[in-house]
C-alpha cells in the first residue's frame, strides 16, 4: 500500500424528503446568494426545483438560476455560469441533478475565484480554491456528489477532460433515493455501469498488498450486481435504489481507492466516444471495459481478472489455467451488462470504425496528454487503436 491522504468532508443527508431541508444546509455551510444549477426540464416538471426554491426562501436565502446542463456537460455553460456568479455576487453553487449538473457546478465553483481560464484546471492544474458546492442528487451514477472530480467537454475541439482537487468536494449532498424512482431503466443502467467502472478503474492496480481496498471494491461490486436487476426491472423499488445510491457514492469518493495506483484508461477511451457521438457515459463504458479487460489478458492482467471472476462473479478457479477463469469473468461482465440493457459493441453505440484513429490520437495526445494513458498498463496510441477494434 502506498502513502496517501484522504479527505471526504461532505455532509451526506440520505433518505426520503430530505431535499425539503436544502435551505437549512445551504445556510449551515454559509451560503447567502445561491446559484441553482440544473439540467433539462425534468427537475422543474417533477416539482423538485420548486421544493428546493421553497426551502431556500424559508431560510431567507436569495438565488439566481442557470439551467440547461446537458449530458457530457459543455464549457460554454460553465463560462456563462462563471460570469453570472460574478455579476450576481453568488457565494454558493447548488447543483440539482445528476453527475453532469454537479460536474458543471464544480467547474463554475472553481472558475469564479480564479483569475485565468477555468479550463486550466482541466489541463491538469489542481483546484485549491472554489466556491462551496451543495448538491441535490437525482440519479445514482457518477459519484460526483462525494468526489473531488469534475469532467467537462470543451466545445472548441470537443475535448472531454477531468479536473480534481479536494476544494471541489461538495460541502453537502442530499441523496433521496425516491428521486430516482421515476428514471427510465436505460438511464438507471447507464448509471450502474458508471459506478461499476469507477470500481474497476481502482481495482486494476500495480500496487501490491492492497487486500483491504480490494475487498471493499469487491463488496461494493457484489452489492451493485445484486441490486441492479431489481432497479432496472422496477425503478420504483425504493430499497434497491437506496442501496445503489450509497454504492455509487462509495464507489467514487475514493475511500476504496486510497494507497493504490489506479488505471483510468477506459474512462479516457470512453470520453472520446461520448465527446464524438454524445452517447451516455455509462453506455460507452459498457462497450469499453470488456474490451480493455480482454486486452489485459496478454499484458499481465490474468491474476487480477481471475480474482475478480472468482470473488465477484462467482466463477470457479481454474488452477491449471487461470486465464480461463479470467475469460469467464469477462464473459460474465458482458452478460450482466447486456442483461441490464447496455450496448456491448460499436454499432450499438453508433460509433464508427473510421473514427478510431482520431479517437485514439485524442485520447493519447489530446490536451495535455503525453502519448500514453492508463496506470495498470501504459497504453500507447497503437494499443488504444487495438482496444477500440475489439469493440467492433
- In the bound state with its own copies, the residue whose beta carbon lies nearer, of 242 and 384, is 242
Q: Which residues is 162 bridged to in the sheet?
A: 151
Between 12 and 295, whose beta carbon lies closer to its own copies?
A: 12
CB of 222 to its own copies, least distance (A): 5
Q: Which residues pair with 94 in a beta bridge?
A: 36, 134
The span from the CA of 308 to the CA of 301, in Å, is 11
Q: Dihedral angle at the C-alpha atoms of 293, 296, 302, 304, nearest 10 degrees? A: -60
Min. distance of Cβ 317 from its own copies in angstroms?
14
Collapsing DSSP states into helix, strand and coil, what is residue 68?
coil
Cα separation of 80 and 104, whole Å? Answer: 11
Shortest Cβ 212–its own copies spacing (Å): 4
Strands 159-164 and 149-154: antiparallel
Nearer to its own copies, 104 or 243 (CB): 243
- Alpha carbons 198 and 208: distance in angstroms, whole number: 19
Binding residues vs its own copies (CB under 8 A):
1-16, 18, 208-220, 222-224, 226-227, 239-240, 242-244, 246-247, 250, 255, 258-259
What angle in degrees, to the nearest 10, is found between the helix axes of 211-233 and 238-250? 150
Nearer to its own copies, 201 or 227 (CB): 227
* Least distance between its own copies and beta carbon 178 (Å): 11
Nearer to its own copies, 13 or 69 (CB): 13
Of residues 189 and 249, the one with the C-beta less far from its own copies: 249
Of 126 and 350, CB closest to its own copies = 126
Print burial letters for 54-86: b (CB count within 10 Å at least 16), e (below 16): ebbeebebebebbbbbebbbbbebbbebbebbe
- The strand pairing partners of 62, in sequence order, are 33
CA–CA separation, 338 vs 223, rounded Å? Answer: 18
Q: How far is the CB of 366 from its own copies (least distance, A)?
A: 33
> DSSP for 41-66?
SHHHHTTHHHHHHHHHHHTT-EEEEE
Give the chain's end-to-end CA distance (angstroms, integer).
37
Distance CA 140, CA 163 (A): 21
Residue 231 Cβ vs its own copies, minimum distance, rounded to whole Å: 12
Q: How far is the CB of 296 from its own copies (least distance, A)?
A: 23
Amino acid at each position: 500500500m502506498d502513502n496517501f491522504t484522504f479527505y471526504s468532508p461532505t455532509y451526506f443527508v440520505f433518505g426520503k424528503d430530505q431535499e425539503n431541508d436544502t435551505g437549512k444546509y445551504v445556510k449551515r455551510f454559509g451560503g447567502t446568494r445561491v446559484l441553482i444549477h440544473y439540467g433539462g426540464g425534468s427537475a422543474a416538471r417533477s416539482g423538485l426545483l420548486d421544493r428546493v426554491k421553497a426551502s431556500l426562501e424559508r431560510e431567507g436565502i436569495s438565488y439566481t438560476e442557470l439551467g440547461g446542463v446537458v449530458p457530457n456537460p459543455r464549457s460554454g455553460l460553465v463560462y456563462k455560469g462563471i460570469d453570472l456568479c460574478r455579476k450576481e455576487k453568488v457565494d454558493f453553487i447548488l447543483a440539482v441533478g445528476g453527475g453532469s449538473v454537479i460536474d458543471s457546478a464544480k467547474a463554475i465553483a472553481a472558475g469564479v475565484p480564479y483569475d485565468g481560464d477555468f479550463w486550466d484546471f482541466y489541463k491538469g492544474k489542481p483546484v485549491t480554491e472554489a466556491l462551496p458546492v451543495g448538491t441535490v442528487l437525482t440519479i445514482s451514477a457518477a459519484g460526483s456528489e462525494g468526489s473531488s472530480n469534475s469532467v467537462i467537454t470543451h466545445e472548441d475541439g470537443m475535448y472531454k477532460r477531468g479536473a480534481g482537487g479536494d476544494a471541489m468536494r461538495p460541502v453537502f449532498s442530499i441523496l433521496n433515493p425516491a428521486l430516482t424512482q421515476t428514471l427510465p431503466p436505460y438511464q438507471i443502467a447507464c448509471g450502474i455501469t458508471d459506478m461499476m467502472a469507477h470500481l474497476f478503474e481502482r481495482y486494476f492496480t500495480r500496487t501490491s498488498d492492497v487486500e483491504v481496498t480490494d475487498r471493499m471494491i469487491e463488496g461494493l461490486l457484489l452489492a451493485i450486481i445484486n441490486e441492479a436487476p431489481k432497479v432496472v426491472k422496477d425503478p420504483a423499488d425504493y430499497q434497491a435504489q437506496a442501496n445503489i445510491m450509497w454504492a455509487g457514492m462509495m464507489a467514487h469518493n475514493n475511500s476504496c481507492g486510497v494507497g493504490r495506483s489506479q488505471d483510468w484508461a477506459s474512462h479516457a477511451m470512453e470520453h472520446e466516444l461520448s465527446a464524438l457521438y454524445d452517447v451516455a457515459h455509462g453506455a460507452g463504458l459498457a462497450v469499453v471495459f470488456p474490451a480493455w479487460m480482454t486486452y489485459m489478458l496478454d499484458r499481465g492482467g490474468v491474476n487480477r481478472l481471475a480474482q475478480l471472476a472468482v470473488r465477484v462473479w462467482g466463477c470457479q478457479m481454474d488452477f491449471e489455467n487461470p486465464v480461463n477463469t479470467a475469460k469467464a469473468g469477462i464473459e460474465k461482465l458482458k452478460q450482466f451488462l447486456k442483461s441490464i440493457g447496455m450496448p456491448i459493441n460499436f454499432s450499438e453505440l453508433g460509433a464508427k470504425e473510421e473514427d478510431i484513429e482520431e479517437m485514439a490520437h485524442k485520447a493519447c495526445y489530446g490536451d495535455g496528454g503525453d502519448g500514453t494513458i492508463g496506470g495498470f498498463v501504459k497504453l500507447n496510441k497503437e494499443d488504444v487503436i487495438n482496444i477500440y477494434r475489439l469493440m467492433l
